[in-house]
Amino acid sequence: ESCSSILWRSWEYKEQAAEALKLTATDMKKQKLVDGIIKEPLGGAHSDREKTFETVKETIISTCDELKKLSPKELVDQRMEKYSSMGVFKG
């Protein structure tokens, strides 16, 4: 919203600003800045808070269950690989 306000002097273009900056959830997943995208209920997370809470809870539990299968060394190695690869320019 602030970017939109600066560039176009209006918050009206916030979606275009997010798209230009590649800040959508899909873009961030492609760039490996996030591990996954949690789907929202129709109308957005605020439209059905209980469903949103349940979906987030299920995702956290599922992710923790997967991480528990890894050794501490594997966890550290994966984390190092993940964060070391961020911001690397690939022409």
Asked which of 1-5, 49-53, 66-70 is least confident by mean pLDDT, the reply is 1-5
Say how far apart CA 18 and CA 27 lie, in whole Å. Answer: 10
Helix and strand totals (H; E) in the chain? 5, 0
25-46 tens-digit pLDDT: 898 899 888 999 999 999 999 9
11-18 — which CB contacts under 8 Å span 24+ positions? none
Structure tokens at 14: 């916030």
Calculate the average pLDDT of the chain. Answer: 88
Give me the percent of the chain exceeding a pLDDT of 90: 54
Give the start-to-end residue ranges of the domains of the chain.
Answer: 1-34, 38-91
Amino acid residing at 25: A
Taking the CA of residue 78 as centre, how many other CA atoms within 13 Å lie in the half-sphere pointing to its CB? 10
